[in-house]
Amino acid sequence: MSAQGPIRISTEPECTRVEFTEKHVIDEVVIRQIGNELTKLVDASPRPRLVVSFTGVEHLSSAALGTLLTVMNRVRAKDGQLRLCDIAPQILQIFEITKLNKVLRIEKDLAAAKASLGGAA
Amino acid sequence: MAHPGPTPSHRAPFERTWVLREQRDSIEALQADVGRALHDFGYGEACAFAVRLALEEALVNGFRHGNKGDASKSVTVRCRVDAGLMQLEVQDEGEGFNPETVPDPTAEENIEIPSGRGIMLMRAYMTSVEYVPPGNCLRITYRREEGPRA
């Protein structure tokens, strides 16, 4: 794990953008840390608008899927919005196999994810 | 001129056993060894991706559910790779379980539950996934021609 932590967070006018700093999102300890950081982000906003970019991610485990679902439920509870984007084909296949592409909103890229966000920031 | 090594079909099978504790470094070393063996036998990137995913899920299940997070317990991995087949056995020190009791994570009532997708992913990517009674040993195979069955 890098010294900068497993995710990089940037605040943009339309949303809060999250990127992974590692290409393998599979280590349970790291995934727990990612979950904690995302939870903090969601809790800090009255109506979170979160875009999670998978640029550079080559591997994803079922534990990471679970964390995304937990975050989705927290975002939804606050009437917020969550988008996933920039997902490589082999990772997208994981979402399709588990049918989570029907539950989590996936957009092609960051621009599409931002454009899909409705309502005021 | 360097003498070329044996072709994948003539190479002796790769066979190795690891006894692991839940430490990231040793898991990564195992993943690297298996990945190298697959590469040496000419398996492609799709296979390497699928095997890495299945092995990761199997190890997490072994440490978390089988050994119940007990740091004094280990997971034993046996691997055999030849030109046509990759076989893995992942055995924990738990009492075993019946995989039929795991609910379908894609069912509407379960789709938003955060856990329970590891076995499904292994089954989607591997040729066969079988729990050996009493259920604490997982036998995974990947047959070269078939590839990911998603």
A12: left (phi over 0), alpha (psi -120 to 50) or beta: beta
Catalogue the E-assigned strands of A1-121. Answer: 7-11, 16-20, 24-25, 49-53, 59-60, 81-85, 106-107
Half-sphere exposure of B116 (CA within 13 A, CB side): 18
Q: Is A112 part of any domain?
A: yes
Answer whether residue A2 shows pLDDT above 60. no
Backbone angles phi, psi at A59, to 5 degrees: -140, 145
Beta carbons within 8 Å of B44's beta carbon, 6+ residues apart: none
Q: What is the pTM of this model?
A: 0.89
B7 found inside a domain: no
Dist CA A57 CA A64 (whole Å): 12
All residues of chain A having their beta carbon less than 8 Å from the beta carbon of residue B107 are: none
Cβ of A98 within 8 Å of Cβ of B52? The answer is no
Provide φ and ψ at A22, rounded to 5°.
-115, 150
Number of domains in chain A: 1
Looking at beta carbons, which residues of chain B come within 8 Å of A93?
148, 150
Q: Using 50, 70 and 90 to split pLDDT, how confident is the model at A120?
A: low
- Residues 6 or more apart whose Cβ sits within 8 Å of residue A115: none
* Candidates B60, B148, B150; nearest CB to A63: B60
Segment B117-145 shows an average pLDDT of 94
A18: CATH: 3.30.750.24
Tokens read off for A45: 């906003």
Give the number of beta-carbon pairs within 8 Å between A and B: 58
Is A23 a domain residue?
yes
Question: Looking at residue B3, what is its pLDDT?
Answer: 64
Confirm whether A121 is domain-assigned. no
Q: Is residue A98 situated within a structural domain?
A: yes
Both tokens of A120, joined, read 């005021």
Does B29 reside within a domain?
yes
Predicted local confidence at residue B2, as pLDDT: 58
B148 in any annotated domain: no
Tell which phi-psi region holds residue A62, choosing left (phi > 0), alpha (psi between -120 and 50) or beta. alpha
Alpha-carbon gap: B57 to the closest alpha carbon of chain A (Å): 7
**Does the structure show a pLDDT above 70 at A119?**
no
Gap from A76 CA to chain B (nearest CA, Å): 12
* pLDDT tens per residue across span B40-49: 999 999 999 9
Q: Are A110 and A75 in contact (CB under 8 A)?
A: no
User: What is the ipTM, given to two decimal places?
Assistant: 0.88
> Closest-CA residue in chain A for B114?
A66
Domain containing B69 equals: 14-143
Residue pair A54/A15 in contact by the 8 Å Cβ criterion: no
Distance of residue B106 Cα from the nearest chain A Cα, in angstroms: 6
What is the residue range of A57's domain? 7-116
Please report the pLDDT score of residue B148 as a whole number: 44
Residue with tokens 């690297």: B32
The CATH code of the domain that includes B23 is: 3.30.565.10
Residue from A72, A84, A67 nearest A17 by CA: A84
**Phi-psi group of B69: left, alpha or beta (phi > 0 → left; psi -120 to 50 → alpha; rest → beta):** left
